[in-house]
Chains A and B, each alone.
Chain A
Amino acid sequence: MTGPVISLRGLTKCYGRFEAVRDLTFDINAGTIFGFVGANGAGKTTTMRMLCGLTRPTRGSATIGGADVWRKRHAVRSKFGYVAQRFSLYRDLTVVENFRFFAGAHRVSSRKIEERINQVLSLIDLEAKRDAPAGSLSGGMRQLLSLGCAIIHDPPLLFLDEPTSGLDPVHRQQIWDLLYDFSNRGVTIFVTTHYMDEAERCTEVGFLARGILLAKATPRTLIHSFRVRLLEVNIEPVMPALVKLRDIPGVLGVSLRSGRLRVYSAEPERLVERWKTQWPFPDLQFKGERWVEPDMEDVFTAYSQGYDAMIKPIS
């Protein structure tokens, strides 16, 4: 479990003149749960599809286990499982028939197929639905089934494209428990998401915006990359305050959290000092301030909005 499983070197994808993914260079080590975080359209799916050999890179290259993901794509395919963003299994086939097909397609030897199917069924807890058509399953169960089909050949690497989007919290938890389970067995996991709480569950996170990698580190390192303290203020009424604070010089941005406002600023201490001596909004009531630990959402906001003054570079 040493050395990079996935290596990207200047990986770039252009659609016409539009650069969807720009010059990505990074490694992912074995056993990592790598969370690829970014807004819709940031280039997460495009990157993943290049890594899966579904889209040809315009420039640069990537390898999985040392083999080029495009030139050796047929050889590489036995080494990973892929869960697409959209449910893309056969709705008219039953759960078991889907498994049997993908097992055959992944060249699982026919002696082992039934045993492996039962193993995966119990893992994803879908034994009761084994003969139900895939199209009749609920969204959560479909996602579990997709995951099951992706691991039917027991791959050492798993790609998941927003596996929990649109799922209820119970199924989200179930999916993540499974991912931890796989990770525990040494499977490397590459997962895209735009949920920040999910990013925090990863062992390593990459921020992607407009096709550019902004940062890549462990969640802890990213949170510690804040060079300033994070200010949270209690002002009433809160909505007009949010709008007005945004326009104050020295404030980079404001976000609402549980009724309080988080103020992104390079020098928050000076702001507080000024507000305490002279509060500029007579119609708003300043009820107090406190210093909080930034979470992943704060970090992502700072990176993606370009609040560079708040961040120290990650070594």
Chain B
Amino acid sequence: MKRLSISAIASVARKEFIHIIRDKRVLVLLLILPPLFTLIFGYAFEAGEPTGVPALLINRDQTERTQRFVDLVLKNKTFTWKKAPPETTNEGDLVGRHVQAALVIPAGWSESLSNGDPKPLPFYVDGSDTNTADALTGSLQRSLGEFQLGERQVMIDSLPEEVFELGKKLPVEVRKQFTSAMSQWEIKPQILYNPKSRFIDYVTPGIIGLILQLLTVTLMACTIARERESGTLYQLMVTSLRRGEIVLGKIVPYLAISALIILIILLLVAFHFEVKLISPLVLAVVCLLFLLCSLGLGLLISAISRTQTQAIQFSVFFLLPVFVLSGAFAPLEHLPPIIQWVAEFFPLTHFCRAFRLVNLYHAGPSFYGIDLVVMLLGAVVTFVGAALLLKRIEQ
């Protein structure tokens, strides 16, 4: 291929830029939606644990001890309790009562605790979304554990003197074992990589990637298809422009606008959500490679589509699995191996991984280097593919 002329590329870029700014509706979309999405996603994912879940409490055991448990349960921030009278029946009808869980304390529960045969507490919980049930049950279990600990202390305090006398006669080892067994055993978590456990820190690359992928792929996909639809592609092809000049000229304005959008999003997450950005330069490289890869994909779609409608349809079909399977919002490792293997083909997967390795794990290039290489490879393959496909339309 002969040398490409900068001024020819600039001509195409200028024209393409005019297309973007003349289309006021798309321009507004480009400038308003990304920060808006960032805010929405940011707030949507800020609270990781459920709080204030509406729940029903039916107490059929009116004793002092049960009342202590009820007081403890009412303090649990996970739930917003509605009390129902003891004679309430049909307690499993969660939907009918507009609650997500129902706790029943059966009559004689307190007594069963004293009798050496503690009755389990029926807890009805909505399992439809697969996550909530575990979280709610766990939270309630913790309240119950706390109550049990408190009750044990009450029991120990009220033991007759003889027991302690008897205890003193036991060998020291047994006494120590007993003390140990009586206290709560604990885990001391050392949370690394995202010490505040904030979801926004984790999901930032997902938000950037999602928005950028959506915009770049669809917009880019339309560019050549639009020229084909309006007949201007032939007009372009009888000029002295080379394919490379057309392709590069089309990329430049979208690259500039995408970079601007990334900047806006990053400033927003950095200052509004106080996400710390480690080594901005490396992140810039990660973003740039991801952009090139996405633009290349858009271009490839553009080259195989006859019309803009087709281009949009191709884009949507490509983007749908990407959003779900790329690990943008949930760890990829939780997915089955075959899906993980498929996900490796999506640029968004590598972008999110590299971004997190840099920003959360503070990892060195030896960890995320492979992702950069894959994205670079993706960009090269898509660009070359698009250029070859464009060559084919000439004939």
Which residues of A are in contact with B by a Cβ distance under 8 Å? 49, 52-56, 74, 77-78, 80, 82, 84, 86-93, 97, 100-107, 110, 133, 149
Within 8 A of A (CB), among B1-52: 2, 5, 7-8, 10-12, 14-15, 18-19, 22-23
Chain B nearest CB, measured from A188 CB (Å): 16
Q: Are A89 and B235 in contact (CB under 8 A)?
A: yes
Chain B nearest CB, measured from A266 CB (Å): 44
Q: Are B240 and A107 in contact (CB under 8 A)?
A: yes
Chain B residues within an 8 Å CB radius of A74: 2, 240, 242
> Out of A92, A102, A104, which one reaches B18, CB within 8 Å?
A92
A–B complex contacts, Cβ < 8 Å, 7 sampled: A88-B230, A89-B235, A90-B19, A93-B18, A100-B14, A102-B239, A105-B236
Q: Are B235 and A101 in contact (CB under 8 A)?
A: no
Q: Are A86 and B5 in contact (CB under 8 A)?
A: no
Given that A77-B240, A104-B10, A104-B11 are contacting pairs, would A90 and B395 also be in contact in the complex, using a CB cutoff of 8 Å? Answer: no
Chain B nearest CB, measured from A249 CB (Å): 49
Q: Are B18 and A56 in contact (CB under 8 A)?
A: no
> Out of A56, A97, A105, which one reaches B12, CB within 8 Å?
A105
Q: Are A110 and B232 in contact (CB under 8 A)?
A: no
Chain A residues within an 8 Å CB radius of B394: 53-54, 56
Chain A residues within an 8 Å CB radius of B237: 53-54
* 6 interchain residue pairs of minimum CB distance: A104-B11, A88-B231, A105-B239, A92-B22, A56-B395, A82-B238
Interface centre among B5, B235, B242 (most CB of A within 10 A): B235
**Chain A, residue nearest B231 (CB):** A88
Chain B nearest CB, measured from A237 CB (Å): 47
Chain B nearest CB, measured from A314 CB (Å): 32
Chain B nearest CB, measured from A84 CB (Å): 6
Chain A residues within an 8 Å CB radius of B18: 92-93, 97
**Chain A, residue nearest B11 (CB):** A104
> Out of B22, B231, B241, which one reaches A105, CB within 8 Å?
B241
**Chain B, residue nearest A87 (CB):** B231
Chain A residues within an 8 Å CB radius of B395: 55-56
A82 to B234, CA, bound (A): 10
Chain A residues within an 8 Å CB radius of B242: 74
What 11 additional pairs, Cβ within 8 angstroms, besides A100-B11, A104-B7? Answer: A74-B242, A77-B238, A80-B238, A84-B234, A86-B231, A88-B235, A90-B19, A93-B15, A93-B18, A104-B11, A104-B14
Chain B residues within an 8 Å CB radius of A104: 7-8, 10-12, 14
A93 to B22, CA, bound (A): 8
Chain B residues within an 8 Å CB radius of A77: 238-240
Interface of chain B: mostly helix, strand, loop or mixed: helix
Q: Are B232 and A90 in contact (CB under 8 A)?
A: yes
Chain A nearest CB, measured from B8 CB (Å): 6
Within 8 A of A (CB), among B118-166: none
Which residues of B are in contact with A by a Cβ distance under 8 Å? 2, 5, 7-8, 10-12, 14-15, 18-19, 22-23, 230-232, 234-242, 394-395
Interface centre among B11, B23, B395 (most CB of A within 10 A): B11
Given that A56-B395, A110-B7 are contacting pairs, would A101 and B14 also be in contact in the complex, using a CB cutoff of 8 Å? Answer: yes
**Chain A, residue nearest B23 (CB):** A92
A87 to B231, CA, bound (A): 8
Q: Are B240 and A84 in contact (CB under 8 A)?
A: no
Q: Are A78 and B240 in contact (CB under 8 A)?
A: yes
**Chain B, residue nearest A53 (CB):** B238
Q: Are B19 and A105 in contact (CB under 8 A)?
A: no
A78 to B230, CA, bound (A): 23
Chain A nearest CB, measured from B7 CB (Å): 6
A91 to B240, CA, bound (A): 21
> Out of B2, B22, B232, B235, which one reaches A82, CB within 8 Å?
B235
A105 to B237, CA, bound (A): 10
Chain A residues within an 8 Å CB radius of B232: 88-90
Q: Are B240 and A97 in contact (CB under 8 A)?
A: no
A110 to B10, CA, bound (A): 11
Chain B residues within an 8 Å CB radius of A55: 395
Q: Are B230 and A91 in contact (CB under 8 A)?
A: yes
A77 to B12, CA, bound (A): 17
Chain A residues within an 8 Å CB radius of B12: 101, 104-105
Chain A residues within an 8 Å CB radius of B10: 104
Chain B nearest CB, measured from A135 CB (Å): 10
Chain B residues within an 8 Å CB radius of A101: 11-12, 14-15
A82 to B236, CA, bound (A): 10
Chain A nearest CB, measured from B233 CB (Å): 8
A90 to B19, CA, bound (A): 9
Chain A residues within an 8 Å CB radius of B236: 105
Q: Are B234 and A105 in contact (CB under 8 A)?
A: no
Chain A residues within an 8 Å CB radius of B5: 107
A204 to B5, CA, bound (A): 39
Q: Are A106 and B240 in contact (CB under 8 A)?
A: yes
A54 to B236, CA, bound (A): 10
**Chain A, residue nearest B237 (CB):** A54
A88 to B230, CA, bound (A): 6
**Chain B, residue nearest A98 (CB):** B15
A107 to B231, CA, bound (A): 21
Q: Are B8 and A105 in contact (CB under 8 A)?
A: yes
A57 to B241, CA, bound (A): 21
**Chain B, residue nearest A90 (CB):** B232
Chain B nearest CB, measured from A23 CB (Å): 20
**Chain A, residue nearest B393 (CB):** A54
**Chain A, residue nearest B246 (CB):** A105
A84 to B241, CA, bound (A): 17
**Chain B, residue nearest A56 (CB):** B395
A110 to B14, CA, bound (A): 14
Chain A nearest CB, measured from B88 CB (Å): 67
